[in-house]
Amino acid sequence: MPMLTLFRNLGYHMEDYPNTYELYKGEISLPIYNGLTKEEIVESLGLRVEG
């Protein structure tokens, strides 16, 4: 949460949450929702499908 402007402005600092930050660095966010086509999913992941 300290990465969000609202919480930063309330005085929260990422340095106060070192374990959370280590987990955050390894996270990825995928744009997945039920309206995506197979092609859009492949493109968003940066994959190349052959065949």
What tens digit of pLDDT does each residue of 6-22 get?
988 999 998 899 998 88
Q: The domain containing residue 37 runs over which residues?
A: 5-44
**Amino acid type, 20:** T
Residue 49 lies in a domain: no
CA gap 35, 30 in Å, rounded? 14
Instruction: For residue 26, tell me if it sits in a domain.
Output: yes
Q: Is residue 35 part of a domain?
A: yes
pLDDT band at 51 (very low <50, low <70, confident <90, very high): low
The number of folded domains in the chain is: 1
Average pLDDT for 20-36: 82
Q: For residue 2, is pLDDT > 90? A: no
- Please answer whether residues 14 and 2 qualify as being in contact, where contact means their C-beta atoms are separated by less than 8 angstroms: yes
29 vs 22, higher pLDDT? 22
- Residue 14, judged by CB atoms within 10 A of its CB (0-12, 13-18, 19+), counts as middle
Residue 51 lies in a domain: no
Residue 24 Cα distances to 4, 14, 17, 39, 41, angstroms: 13, 11, 10, 28, 23
